[in-house]
Structures are given as structure tokens and as C-alpha cells.
Amino acid sequence: GQITESIIEEGEGTKIHVMAPVVKDRKGEHKDILEDFRKKGFVRVRVDGEIRGLDEDIELGKNFRHNIELVVDRLVIREGIDFQRRLSDSVETACNFAEGLVTVMFNKRDDEGNESTYEKTYSEDFACTNCGISFQELTPRMFSFNAPQGACPECNGIGTKMEMDPDLIVPNKNLSLNDGAVVPWSKSTKKENYYYQMLKAVADHFGFSMDTPFKDLTEEQQHIILYGSNEKVAFAFKRRNRSYRVNRKFEGVITRMERLYIETKSNYNRSYISKFMSDRKCPACGGRRLRPEVLAVTVGDKNIMDVCDLSIKDSYQFFQDLELTERQIFIGKEILKEIKARLKFLVDVGLDYITMSRSSGTLSGGEAQRIRLATQIGSGLVGVLYILDEPSIGLHQRDNKKLIGTLKHLRDIGNTLIVVEHDEETILSADYVVDIGPGAGEHGGKIIAEGSPEEIMNSPDSITGKYLSRRETIPINTERRAGNGKFLTVKGARENNLKNVDVDIPLGVF
């Protein structure tokens, strides 16, 4: 197995001790364990770092912590199937004694005769032998946030959580506590109000005024109001003819509302509290929607979400440049071939700029259509009739050529495509054109001309043909309206494909 291969890679001639770590940092004399090893015919153990014979009278301090490793075998690394078989058996025996763990001590001599001794601990399981963290066996479903095996347990794979929003709780920071700065506690600022009395006690205890604007309070004072303090505060509550005093910690506005949101059985109260909450990036997964152990799995120093956050173009290049060992290539050859092919399809239909982490709701109709088109290309189906509605919308001319090439590829492998299109290059690339008109909407609906692009261009009745043949042209307007001097300005646009763009749109020019 992999453990055996890794041990052999340390080099021929290296002396090794194969050991099973059966006791790790545990108190006790452990006489029963040592006696069991003797009965099973083993000769040596390593106790607290020292190799001891099992024929010795080994006495361990009852109240001290000890480490005991059973020496399963002593070997010198050699070539050949016999050595591999013996080493494999020894590793398996050690793993059986130590619940999947095996420790190997290496003693190596370099060319100058200098000796070095070191050790490694291996695990049959997906586990760290140092910190004890273990993983379940990786499966494809673990890499999907739509599956419970992969979804972040904190946000259930959504990537966001409804959390208290300080800006909704204190929307106007120019107001003081007396003026109702804390909105959910400002229904009444009368002195007998429970929350008013609570804030007054906090202000007195921490030495700030209820009349100070919230923005002028120190960061520490603002934090205490919102998130509380570990200091005990003397609260004095008075309501009608009753009054009482209590010393306790102040939990803070946000902390209290979070607790009430969980504890309340009233739909009204929960609805009211939710007004002060907003969608925030999940603190556990950082908005990446997957379990932390899944995000710890990397290929080429990137986890699955790192790759998904790349553009299609950069993602394709990442897999093209990926450097793998012979063993990794053997394992991943077919899946890498499939991944690169599908990414190439997306590049070919002009979608190299989008990221795979984009939600479908943020895609335009044309982008969604081209994704479906790329999926169909990848499926390799033949004998299918495809109907496409203006697939060229929004495409740069360079990408339009790629799209046309893709459409021709679908045709060439044995499919039929009906494309509703106004783009000149697409029309001229068609095998057969049907020109419907003469006008738009209720003014059209009649077949004006049909045939090859050349036949359409030569048709005397086709307006489309007149423009394709350049018998008719649209004159370029040489005069431009000056506008009214005002602009609609967009600053720092950075959603989806936009990268912090500033735009000035002139008004009064239409």
C-alpha cells in the first residue's frame, strides 16, 4: 500500500523499526498490555523513547504518563518482492494493534558515514497523527454544498447567515441614547421603561452620558452597548409602585436580541427581531458554502472553491498548467481530460470571463443559453433539433466567431439547429435562411424570402437581403447631440463581471 511505498522511498540500506503506538501519553503501569505482548511472542517494546526487551521486568510509575510502542519488526530496506511482502505484513500487524497507526524509526547512514535517526508516523485513516483530527473517506458528494455531506453545517451550504446588523440597530449614529439611537429599545424613552433603565445603569457604570451622540462614544463604549461586558453592573429597575435592584453582567443589545430570537416561541417577536438582521457572509465557511474539511482538500495548492472563483479562462489555464506526479496522472487522467474538455466548450461559446462560483440567478439569458449549449456539446448527442433564440446577444465579435464555430460543430456531428438571429455574421454562416417580415410584430409574420444567404441577398423583396448585399446601408450620423451637461455617474461598480468601474453616462443626448 501507500505506507509501504513511502517507507521504501527512504532508500535502500536504511535500517528501520516498525512499531505500533499502543499507549500514547496515558497514566498507569500498563502491565496487562506488556504481558499480552509477551504471550503473543513479541520480543521488544519502546517505552518512553527507550527500546526495552519484554523479558525484562518493566516497571512503570502508576501516576505518570507513558508512551508504549510495540516493536513489530526490525528490517533493512532492500529491493525485491520478498522484502516488500514482509514489510507490508509488518505494517498491517502494527496497524491492527494501534487502530490504523504505525510508527517507523529510520536509521540512515550518508556517503560520509554520518548516521541520522528520525521517525515518521503513518495512518491508514484520513487522520493527522499529531493533532488527532480525522476525516471520513472522501466521496464526490462531499464536494457539493447541495449535499449534507459537503454543506457547511453553520449555514447549511447557503454561504450566508441571518445575523444582527449593528447598522440596523443604530441606523442614525448622530442620535444619543436618550434620543433613541438604539432603535429596537427606543419604543419609549420614558424613565420607567425597562430598557431605558438598563441603558442608564450601563452608562452610569461605564462613565458616559446618555446625551452623547452614539458616534462620539468611544469604540469600547459602543461595543459594550451592543455586545455587553463581563463586568457586573448595579441595575435599579422601577415600574409603577414596584422597584428592585440586581447586580449582574450586561449582555448587550445584540447578544440579548440573538438570545431572544432563538428562545422566543412568539412568531410576532421573531418577526420583529428579524427586522434588525441582514444576510452576512457565513463566519464558518467565509461564504464558500462547504465544510472546512472539504476546503482543506487541495489540488495544485487550490481547493475546489479557489478554482471555482477563477474565471473559466483562468480555470482552464490552471488545469492546463497543473504539474502532477506519474501516480497522480494515472489516477486523474480521465477526469482531468473531461474537466478540460468542458471548460474548453465554455470558452468556445464566449463564456471565458464568468466564474464557476456565479449563481445562476446572476446570469443573463444569453449566458444561461450558452451554458446549456456547452453542456449539449459535451454530451455528444446526435440527431437532436436545437432551437436557439439570439445566442449572439452581448457577445464581442471575437467571441461571436467562436460561437458560430460551435454551432457548426453541433451541425457537423449530426444535429439540426434553428437559430432566431439578427446578427449579420451568423446569418451569412447559415446553410438555409428564412426571412420573415416585412415588418415587426403584427406587421410581419410572412415569409418574404428563403434559401441560401446568397439567394436572400439577391431577393428583390427581402429588406434583410438588401442590407446584407449592401444595396441599402444605414448612414452614420456625423452630428452628435451635445447633451445638457449633466451625467448619471456610477462609481466603483464591482458586481459579477465588473472590476471596480467608474462610468459617466451623459444625459440629454437621445
Name the pLDDT band for 133 (thresholds 50, 70, 90). low
Question: From its phi and psi, is residue 492 left (phi > 0), alpha (psi between -120 and 50) or beta?
Answer: left
DSSP 427-463: HHH-SSEEEEESSSGGG--EEEEEESHHHHHH-SS-H
**DSSP secondary structure letter of residue 42:** -
Strand partners, 482: none
pLDDT band of residue 131 (cuts 50, 70, 90) is low
434-438 own/partner pairs: CB under 8 Å, 24+ apart: 435/459, 435/462, 435/464, 435/465, 437/462, 437/463, 437/464, 438/463
What pTM was computed for the model? 0.60
**CB count, 10 Å around CB of 274?**
13
Mean pLDDT of the chain: 90
Q: What share of the chain has pLDDT > 70, as a percent?
A: 97
Measured distance CA(102)–CA(426) in Å, rounded: 65
Q: What are phi and psi of 127, to 5 degrees?
A: -145, 150
* Closest to 34 in 3D by CA, of 23, 50, 18: 23
Q: What is the mean pLDDT of residues 349-368?
A: 86
Instruction: Count Cα neighbours of 192 within 13 Å in the Cβ-side half-sphere.
Output: 6
Q: Which residues contact 341 (CB under 8 A, 6 or more apart)?
A: 378
Judge whether residue 496 has pLDDT over 90.
no
Instruction: Specify the range with the lowest mean pLDDT, choosing from 54-63, 126-135, 329-338, 407-416.
Output: 126-135
- Rounded to the nearest 10°, the torsion over CA 455, 460, 462, 464 is 80
Distances (CA, A) of 70 to 3, 7, 89, 350, 356: 18, 18, 15, 62, 51
Contact 99, 109 (CB under 8 A): no
Q: CA 214 to CA 226: how far, in whole Å? A: 11
Structural domains present in the chain: 2-133 (3.30.190.20), 163-279 (1.10.8.280), 312-431 (3.40.50.300), 481-510 (no CATH)
> In the beta sheet, which residues pair with residue 52?
45
Phi, psi of 135 (to 5 degrees): -120, 150
DSSP letter assigned to residue 161? E
Nearby residues of 61 by Cβ (< 8 Å), 6 or more positions away: 29
Which pLDDT value is given to residue 129? 61
Helix axes 253-263, 267-274, angle to 10 degrees: 140
pLDDT of residue 192: 61
Per-residue pLDDT of 188-232, as tens digits, reads 555 568 888 999 999 999 999 999 999 999 999 999 999 999 999
C-alpha 316/C-alpha 356 separation (Å) is 11
Mean pLDDT of 274-281: 91
Taking residues 57-66, report their average pLDDT: 91
What whole-number distance in Å separates Cα of residue 495 and Cα of residue 444? 39
pLDDT tier for residue 359 given thresholds of 50, 70 and 90: confident
Distance between CA atoms of residues 504 and 488, nearest Å: 6
| Mean local confidence (pLDDT), 466-486 | 88
**Closest listed residue to residue 164, CA positions, set 215, 119, 225:** 225
Residue 125 has pLDDT above 90, yes or no: no
pLDDT confidence tier of residue 306, bands split at 50, 70 and 90: very high
- Per-residue pLDDT at 6 exceeds 80: yes
Length of the chain: 510
Cβ–Cβ under 8 Å, residues 186 and 180: yes
Tell me if the bond preceding 438 is cis, omega within 30° of 0.
yes
Instruction: Please name which of 39, 64, 74 lies closest in space to residue 54, comparing C-alpha atoms.
Output: 39
Beta partners for residue 73, in sequence order: 18
Query: Residues 407, 410, 414, 417: what is their CA dihedral angle, to the nearest 10 degrees?
Result: -40
Q: Strand, helix or coil at 404? A: helix
Taking Cα atoms as reference points, which of 372, 349, 351, 423 lies closest to residue 393? Answer: 423
- Whole-angstrom distance, CA of residue 162 vs CA of residue 277: 6
Q: How many angstroms separate the CA atoms of 75 and 13, rounded?
A: 9
Instruction: Count the neighbouring beta carbons within 10 Å of the beta carbon of residue 170.
Output: 23
Cα 184 from Cα 176, distance rounded (Å)? 14
DSSP character at residue 124: S
Q: Compute φ and ψ for 142, nearest 5 degrees.
A: -70, -15
Strand, helix or coil at 155?
coil
Cell of 343: 471548460
